[in-house]
Structure 1
Amino acid sequence: MKYPLASLLCLVLATPLGAHPHIFVDTKLEVLVDAEGRLTHLRITWAYDEFYSLLVTEDRGLDPDYDGVLTDAEIASLNGFDMQWIEGFNGDTVLLDGEEEIRLSAPKDVETDFKEGRIITSHLRAVGSTLPSADGLVVKPYDPTYYTAYEVAGKVTVTGNDTCRARVKMPDMTADLRALQADLEKLDTQTDPSEVGLPEIGEALANEVVITCESS
Structure 2
Amino acid sequence: MKRRFALIAALLGTPLPALAHPHVFAEARLEVISGTDGTVSELRNVWRFDDVFSSSVLMDFDKNSDLKLDHSELNEIANTIRTSLADYSYFTSISRDGAPVTVAKPETFHVDFKENQLLVFFVVKPEKSLPLKGKLSIGVYDPTMYTAIDFARDDDMQTEGDGFKTCKRTVVRPDPDEVLAQNQASLTEAFFNDPAGTDMSKLFATRLEVTC
SS of residue matched to 2:122:
strand
Segments of 5+ residues of structure 2 without an aligned counterpart are 1-7, 184-190
Equivalence map 1:77-156=2 (5 Å): 77-85=76-84, 88-133=87-132, 136-153=135-152, 154-156=155-157
SS of aligned partner of 2:25 = strand
1:94-121 deviation per Cα after TM superposition (whole angstroms, max 9, x unaligned): 0011221111101211111112211111
Q: CA deviation at 1:175?
A: 5.3
Partner-residue secondary structure (3-state), 1:146: coil
Separation in structure 2 between the aligned mates of residue 103 and residue 61 of structure 1, nearest angstrom: 35
Letter in 1 for 2:121: S
Offset of residue 57 of structure 1: 1.3
Q: Is 1:160 paired with 2:167?
A: no
Shift of 1:170: 0.8
SS at match of 2:55: helix
Please report how far the alpha carbon of residue 6 of structure 1 lies from its aligned counterpart in structure 2 after TM superposition: 9.6
SS in 2 for 1:91: helix
| Rounded Cα–Cα distance in structure 1 between residues aligned with 2:137 and 2:99 | 10
C-alpha deviation, 1:208, in angstroms: 0.7
Aligned-residue RMSD, C-alpha: 3.6
- The 5 A counterparts of 1:6-17 are none
> How big is the shift at 1:139?
0.6
Change (3 A) 1:172 1:152: same
How far 1:21 moved relative to its partner?
A: 1.0
The count of residues paired between Structure 1 and Structure 2 equals 192
Unaligned runs of 5+ in 1: 13-17, 181-191
Q: Is 1:4 aligned to residue 3 of structure 2?
A: no
The equivalent residue for 2:32 is 31
Q: TM-score, normalised by structure 2?
A: 0.72
Q: Deviations over 1:33-87 (max 9, x none)?
A: 0234321211122222111111111112368455xx5445543443323111376
TM-score of the superposed pair, with normalisation by structure 1: 0.71
CA contact (8 A) 1:42 1:125 kept: yes
Q: Which amino acid aligns with 2:44?
A: R
Change (3 A) 1:98 1:81: same
State the identity %: 25
3-state DSSP of counterpart to 1:79 = helix
* 1:168 match: secondary structure: strand
Larger CA Rg, structure 1 vs 2: 1
